[in-house]
Amino acid sequence: MTTVPMSGPSGAAAADLTGRSDLQRQRLRAAWMFLAPMLIALAIVAGWPLVRTIYFSFTNASLNNLSGAEWIGFDNYLQIRTLSSGRVLYRGLLADPAWWAAVWNTIRFAVLSVAFETVFGMIVALVLNANFRGRALVRAAILIPWAIPTIVSAKMWQWMLNDQFGIINEIALNLGLISQKIAWTASPDTAMIAVLIVDVWKTTPFMALLILAGLQMIPGDIYEAAKIDGVHPIKVFWKVTLPLVRPALMVAVIFRMLDALRIFDLIYVLTPNNAQTKTMSVLARENLFDFDKFAYGSAASTMLFLIIAVITIVYVVVGRVNFEGGR
Amino acid sequence: MAIIKKALFYLLVLVIVVVSVFPFYYAIITSLKTGTALFRVDFWPTQISFDNYTSVLTSRNFPRNVLNSLFVSASVVILALLFAVTAAFALSRVRFRGRSLLLLTVLAVSMFPQIAVLAGLFELVRGMGLYNTPFALIFSYTIFTLPFTVWVLTTFMRDLPVEIEEAAIVDGATPWVIITKVFMPLMWPALVTTGLLAFIAAWNEFLFALTFTSSEVQRTVPVAIGLLSGASQYEIPWGVLMAASVIVTVPLVVLVLIFQRKIVAGLTAGGVKG
Amino acid sequence: MKLRKKLLALTALFALGAGSAHAADLSMVLGDTGTGAQFLREVLDKYEKDTGVKVNIVTMPSSTTDQFGQYRLWLAAGNSDIDLYQTDVIWAPQLADQFVDLTAAAKDVVGQHFPSIIESQTVNGKLVALPLFTDAPALYYRKDLLDKYGKQPPKTWDELAATAKEVQDKEREAGQKDLWGFVWQGNAYEGLTCDALEWVKSSGGGQIIEADGSISINNPNAAAAIERAKSWVGTISPPGVLAYQEEESRGVWQTGNAVFMRNWPYAYALGNGEDSSVKGKFEVTTLPFAGDGNQPAATLGGWNVAVSKYSKQQDAAIKLAIYLASPEVQKWRAIEIANLPTIEALYDDADVAKAQPFMPAWKAVFQSAVPRPSAPTKTKYNEVSSKFWTAVHNTLSGNGTAAENLEILEADLEDLKGSGW
């Protein structure tokens, strides 16, 4: 522990620094002091509610009577009962087809929306990174979708997607894209598309802005050099831009992914109760608050947490997200 | 060739702007309509009536709700950035055991559905006596702003060249000085960007704001908008709703316009040469 | 430095706002910010003048599921900041444990109200809420169009479908391209439970779960009723009706694009507004039924007031609840904001009839009112309703026949019921 090296330094510089263990110890102490406020804040604001929810998932708690919750083990997750006739019954979240449908809906939604947002976000970021007149206004304009509160934009789109007096049907009809008015949010075939359109529209700016911040930290002279060498712009993008912007991109993707996997309010306003778009969070809410199954809803939340954790770990490993810094 | 390229580029810009702005434009048109006209599709304003705006702005509490939102969001951003910058320094520039695990734990906080922590947070807020105060919101919003700001700033800080820091260490600078005097100036784009995103996230939050406040003077803008209703139970006042949405979106656009020079300015090529 | 001072001052200002509610004041929450809240303010101002008790209003979004979740959470945490809750008819049995029993306090006045409403608010002999006003849907029809083609308002569902089809086709030929025969609420939500309960009940198919708790929904009459509704979708009703809630139907109706509409009384005044395309062209009647000895059915809606068990001033709160449900306030309410009274005598009141000429027409509608099965299913009502509207919505969108879906529904409900509701 006495020879904790600084991140990144290599060669002579590192060797030079490792000698000063006093300095290192001071740095380490400073590091923990710097971490403390953040950790304490998170422990209070997140720790307690998380522990509570996980605890309730192992009880028979009802929202009408939280203090009277009794421990029932894993019954909310999986309960195997053998009837007197010898038939075996499976009950609980893991045997609930509605839950697995929600898992599938959520994953499909998350993968599709994040993929579209990444591509569009990259395009928008590249455009904004270029120098052109009116760039300031364009940047403000693309942020508008992100700036509108979700409940408002959901309602706005619900209005625009309305089958009778919605403007989307009107435009599509005029352009000859559809032959008759479509009930976007009602029909099982289009409900997911409607949700995807709105989500991609709303969150692409988030992606674009984070990627843009990454792009702007790339030193300009790299591009100069590539230009002088006559490298094709597309090649520059794949060989220079993408690798350099990758850390920022990976973080943006991971946060979008976490958000998408937990998606709630958009679907709750736009297509509530539609079986094709019911996600894990919507199902959890239904059980937690609408139905008298608080414990079951807590179990769903906990499972949602575990599923996201697994996906994240896979992503971190496969995507080789580098925690240690350095390139 | 160059002209075609330029034309295509501007076409792309145009498409991006139209797609981004059209729904907002449509909201503005809708906000200028009243009554049955709302149910008709129009591409251009056919009727200009500011009734919806006056009814929003003269409603007793709306200006106060805007102030609440500003206060809460600004406090959340200041707090989140303060905690995150210091934490990011520790997480990116100091090597210690368990660092990756710590980063993952911070991330894990973002993995829990908001709806699931609602009950626990509510007990906490009441237990701490914060119920129905803006501090309940400032406190609870850290749950989604902090992990995000910590992560983004950690990534950016990690990529800053080590030589700058070494020079400062040689000059005898303490970590605090390194952060404030050396890193912060270099990190403006990242700070402004994450700050802005955190601000917007806090500005738009609905569920916590609805649950942790009960009086109209304490409510924030999204809740105030959610509470706009028609004269009767089932009626949805689209016109007023859109007017209110336009009003609350404008400050954010202004904010972006103010800060964007910082976003663009970025790093001067010389400053970061590694 | 200056900035810091300003920030401090601002912080203090915001902190102050929090403590301004006095302990002696009562707080009442309601999910209405429109005329309902304005009216309540007026009533409470008068109450304050008469009794000296000050009451604060807390408002919630009007979406009933949003409200219900919040109230549940507040009550679960024993929130003592709210003394009175304005509750939907279907909530009382689910929140019964958290509300004060009003039986003793209201024993002199319950007799004035419609017995069926009092019954719907009574759980295991405990009166959990007092009715403020009631709500029941009706069939809106375009008198001008029916007259044009020499039609009478339909008595049965089949007459409705035939008339709607004929008028719709003829009007479309005449150039009214966007006209539809019948709009209603087909989105998968509580409103569909209301609509479908009416179809089923008025076809002799029972009321999903009977008062004694037995599950009756899986029967041929119920299946036929839902199949009948399915035949409307795409013929006399727009395909999008499967996403309609009250407002979407009203939108189509009020722009003059529907011959018939099933909706609540609120659409009456709005339909006669200055800018409405159907102003003066429509009337209301009771909803149709299936014929052969059946009766029309209208799902019972309406709002009540309940007192929180966690209130620190229960006596004052109960007094206020009784005042709000009194004939005096209900009459005032009927005259000023056209809410239907729960006190039968008020329907024959001359002042009410004069101020709201449509109200006597609703008396007939109201007599055919049918409650949703919230009393027998208690805390499981929301889940029952969700399973029911899902089965109906599946059938309507062509996902299985009514008979198949109702069979599955019955099995699901049996599971949910277990050894008893």
Touching subunits of C (3+ CB pairs, under 8 Å) are: A, B
Is the same domain home to B43 and B67? no
For residue C369, the cross-strand partners are C298
CA distances from A269 to A56, A279, B63, B243 (A): 27, 13, 26, 19
Touching subunits of A (3+ CB pairs, under 8 Å) are: B, C
Q: Is the pLDDT of residue A177 over 60?
A: yes
What span, in angstroms and rounded, lies between the C-alpha atoms of A285 and A143? 30
- Identify the residue whose tokens are 């009502």: C381
Is the same domain home to B21 and B70? no
Chain A residues near residue B159 by CB distance under 8 angstroms: 217, 247, 325
Which residue range(s) make up the domain with C152? 138-299+373-418
Chain C residues near residue B115 by CB distance under 8 angstroms: none
Is the same domain home to C35 and C89? yes
Q: Does A272 touch chain C (CB under 8 A)?
A: yes
Is the same domain home to B98 and B173? yes
Is the same domain home to C83 and C206? no
ipTM value > 0.90: no
pLDDT tens per residue, chain B (274 residues)?
788 888 898 999 999 999 988 888 888 888 888 777 777 777 778 778 888 888 888 776 788 888 999 999 999 999 999 999 989 888 888 888 888 888 888 888 877 788 878 888 888 888 888 888 899 999 999 998 998 899 888 888 887 788 888 888 888 888 888 888 888 887 877 888 888 888 988 988 888 888 888 777 888 888 888 777 655 556 667 788 888 888 888 877 777 777 766 654 433 322 332 2
Is the same domain home to C272 and C386? yes
**pLDDT for B268:** 31
Chain C residues near residue B228 by CB distance under 8 angstroms: 33
Is the same domain home to B22 and B84? no
Is the same domain home to C252 and C381? yes
Strands C126-127 and C130-135: unpaired
> Is A270 in contact with A185 (CB distance < 8 Å)?
yes
Is the same domain home to C221 and C239? yes
What span, in angstroms and rounded, lies between the C-alpha atoms of C90 and C267? 22
What span, in angstroms and rounded, lies between the C-alpha atoms of C30 and C22? 20
Is the same domain home to B21 and B139? no
What would the mean pLDDT of A170-197 be, rounded to a whole number? 84
Chain A residues near residue B21 by CB distance under 8 angstroms: 141, 144
> Is A59 in contact with B111 (CB distance < 8 Å)?
no
The 3 state secondary structure assigned to B102-160 is HHHHHHHHCCCCHHHHHHHHHHHHHHCCCCCCHHHHHHHHHHHHHHHHHHHHHHHHHCC
**pLDDT for A12:** 41
Chain C residues near residue B211 by CB distance under 8 angstroms: 70, 73
Is the same domain home to C72 and C163? no
Q: What is the mean pLDDT of each run of 10 residues along chain C (421 residues)?
A: 53 47 73 79 93 88 78 84 91 89 91 87 90 92 94 94 95 90 91 95 93 92 96 92 86 92 87 85 91 87 93 93 94 88 89 84 79 88 92 91 94 87 78
Does A31 fall in a domain?
Answer: no
Chain C residues near residue B38 by CB distance under 8 angstroms: 251
Is the same domain home to B29 and B145? no
- What is the distance in angstroms between the Cα of C143 and the nearest Cα belonging to chain A? 23
Does B209 fall in a domain?
Answer: yes
CB distance B143–A42 less than 8 Å?
Answer: yes
Q: How many domains does chain A have?
A: 1
Is the same domain home to C189 and C218? yes
Is the same domain home to C69 and C158? no
**pLDDT for B177:** 84
Does A118 fall in a domain?
Answer: yes
**Residue C210's domain is classified under what CATH number?**
3.40.190.10
Q: Which of A186, B232, B226, A290 minimizes the C-alpha distance to C301?
A: B232
Tell me the three state secondary structure of residue B3: helix
Tally of CA atoms within 13 A in the half-sphere of A137 that contains its CB:
8
Does B55 fall in a domain?
Answer: no
Signed CA dihedral, B182, B183, B184, B190: sign only = positive
| CB neighbour list of residue B65: distance below 8 Å, 6 or more residues apart | B216, B219, B220, B221, B223, B224
Point out the residue among A37, A66, A170 whose CB comes nearest to the CB of B86.
A37
**pLDDT for A7:** 41
What span, in angstroms and rounded, lies between the C-alpha atoms of B137 and B127? 14
Which residue range(s) make up the domain with A276? 97-293
What span, in angstroms and rounded, lies between the C-alpha atoms of C218 and C206? 9
Does A177 fall in a domain?
Answer: yes
CB atoms under 10 Å from CB of A97, counted, come to 7
Residue of A nearest to B138 (CA): A45
Q: How many domains does chain C have?
A: 2
Chain B residues near residue A7 by CB distance under 8 angstroms: 92-95, 158, 162
Per the structure block, which two tokens stand in for B235?
């009626």
**pLDDT for C51:** 92
CB atoms under 10 Å from CB of C18, counted, come to 19
Does B56 fall in a domain?
Answer: no
**Given strand C258-263, what is the order of strands in its sheet?**
C180-183, C258-263, C138-142, C282-285
> Is C376 in contact with C416 (CB distance < 8 Å)?
no
CB distance A312–B94 less than 8 Å?
Answer: no
**pLDDT for C102:** 94
> Is C270 in contact with C170 (CB distance < 8 Å)?
no
What span, in angstroms and rounded, lies between the C-alpha atoms of C98 and B194? 44
Is the same domain home to B185 and B205? yes
What span, in angstroms and rounded, lies between the C-alpha atoms of C263 and C275? 19
Which residue range(s) make up the domain with B214? 61-267
**pLDDT for B75:** 95
Q: Is the pLDDT of residue A46 over 70?
A: yes
**pLDDT for B104:** 84
As a residue count, chain C comes to 421
Q: Which of B17, B268, B56, B157 minimizes the C-alpha distance to C33?
A: B56
Is the same domain home to C174 and C38? no
CB distance C59–B216 less than 8 Å?
Answer: yes
DSSP state of A6: P
Q: Is the pLDDT of residue A321 over 70?
A: no
Per the structure block, which two tokens stand in for C21?
């509610």
What span, in angstroms and rounded, lies between the C-alpha atoms of A22 and A24? 5
Is the same domain home to C26 and C153? no
CB distance A162–C248 less than 8 Å?
Answer: yes
Q: What angle do CA C343, C208, B235 make, to 5 degrees?
A: 55
Q: Is the pLDDT of residue A3 over 70?
A: no
The 3 state secondary structure assigned to chain C is CHHHHHHHHHHHHHHHHHCCCCCCCEEEEECCCCHHHHHHHHHHHHHHHHHCCCEEEEECCCCHHHHHHHHHHHHHCCCCCCCEEEEECCCHHHHHHHECCCCCCCCCCHHHECHHHHHHCEECCEECCEEEEEECCEEEEEHHHHHHCCCCCCCEHHHHHHHHHHHHHHHHHCCCCCCEEEECCCCCCHHHHHHHHHHHHCCCCCCCECCCCCECCCCHHHHHHHHHHHHHECCCECHHHHHCCHHHHHHHHHCCCEEEEEECCHHHHHHCCCCCCCCCCEEEECCCECCCCCCCCEECEEEEEEEECCCCCHHHHHHHHHHHCCHHHHHHHHHHHCCECCEHHHHHCHHHHHHCCCHHHHHHHHHCEECCCHHHHHHHHHHHHHHHHHHHHHHHCCCCCHHHHHHHHHHHHHHHHCCCC
Is the same domain home to B40 and B147? no
Does A220 fall in a domain?
Answer: yes
**Residue A145's domain is classified under what CATH number?**
1.10.3720.10
Is the same domain home to C125 and C157? no
Q: Does A203 touch chain B (CB under 8 A)?
A: no
Is the same domain home to B82 and B199? yes
Does A191 fall in a domain?
Answer: yes
**Residue B158's domain is classified under what CATH number?**
1.10.3720.10
CB distance B133–C15 less than 8 Å?
Answer: yes
CA distances from C276 to A270, C218, C356, C357 (A): 27, 42, 19, 19
Is the same domain home to C159 and C221? yes
Q: Is the pLDDT of residue A50 over 80?
A: yes
Does A60 fall in a domain?
Answer: no
Which one-letter amino acid corresponds to residue A101?
Answer: A
* Angle of the B188-204 helix axis to the B238-265 helix axis, nearest 10: 170
What span, in angstroms and rounded, lies between the C-alpha atoms of B221 and B6? 42
Residue of B nearest to C264 (CA): B234
Does A115 fall in a domain?
Answer: yes
What span, in angstroms and rounded, lies between the C-alpha atoms of B154 and B146? 12
Q: Does C397 touch chain A (CB under 8 A)?
A: yes
Residue of B nearest to C274 (CA): B35
Is the same domain home to B15 and B104? no
CB distance C15–B216 less than 8 Å?
Answer: no
Q: How many domains does chain B have?
A: 2
What residue ranges in chain A does DSSP mark as E strands?
A: 79-82, 88-91
What span, in angstroms and rounded, lies between the C-alpha atoms of C203 and A326? 74
**pLDDT for A171:** 87
Q: Which of C81, A193, A326 minimizes the C-alpha distance to B161?
A: A326
